[in-house]
Structure formats: C-alpha cells, structure tokens
Amino acid sequence: MRVATFTLIGSLKWAKLGFYDQQKHEYGEILLSEPQEIASCIGNISLKEGEPFVHAHAVLADENGNTKGGHLLGGAVFAAEIHLTELLGPDLVRKKDDVTGLSLWQP
C-alpha cells in the first residue's frame, strides 16, 4: 500500500504526542504514560523517501475523560479498529518544504 487515508479508534497503554513549533521547526514531545482511549485518530499513508510513511493526529482521553491531542509520535496499542481506505492512482510524495520545515505533499 502506497497511498491511503484512515480513521482509527481504540485504546493505548501509553502514548507520545508531538506539537510542532511553527517558529523553531521542531517537535516538542508530550508523554502520556497512563492508558488512554483513542477518542479520535485521523491519518494518512503516503511516500517519503520512497517508503510508505504514516502521518496521524490523535485525541487521547484518560480515565476521567480528560484529553490531550496532537501529532501521534508513538504508543502501544491495547486494542484498535481502523478504517483504512487505499487510494489508487498516482503516488502522493512528501518532500521537505523550506517554508514550514515539514515534509509536505508535492503538487
């Protein structure tokens, strides 16, 4: 699979979220060491340096329903249900963008 989009719900044993600093062009990390519900997860798969690359954002909720959100950097799945839609057709390729410092899809 080279290009896809997905939504996902479930729960994680722990997670690490990221916040991209729009000035410094680097990610800050937010570690959530306790179990979390995946209240929302939206993402996609495209090509970066020739390999399939997953980009996902998530909103996670703890036992009191309190939420943290951001770029999903890592975590351990307890259970998850994904709806993955493969997109056939031309490849979607990421390339470093000088303005944002991010790897963005090429026009």
Residues lying near a copy of itself in the complex (CB under 8 A) = 5, 7-9, 11, 13, 17-22, 28, 30, 32, 35, 37-44, 55-71, 78-79, 81, 83, 85, 97, 100, 102, 104-105
The least distance separating a copy of itself from the CB of residue 97, rounded to whole angstroms, comes to 8
Nearer to a copy of itself by Cβ, of 20 and 93: the residue is 20
DSSP symbol at 89 = S
CB of 10 to a copy of itself, least distance (A): 8
- Residue for token pair 């044993």: 13
Sorted by sequence, the CB contacts under 8 Å of residue 38 that are 6+ apart come out as 8, 9, 10, 11, 12, 58, 59, 60, 80
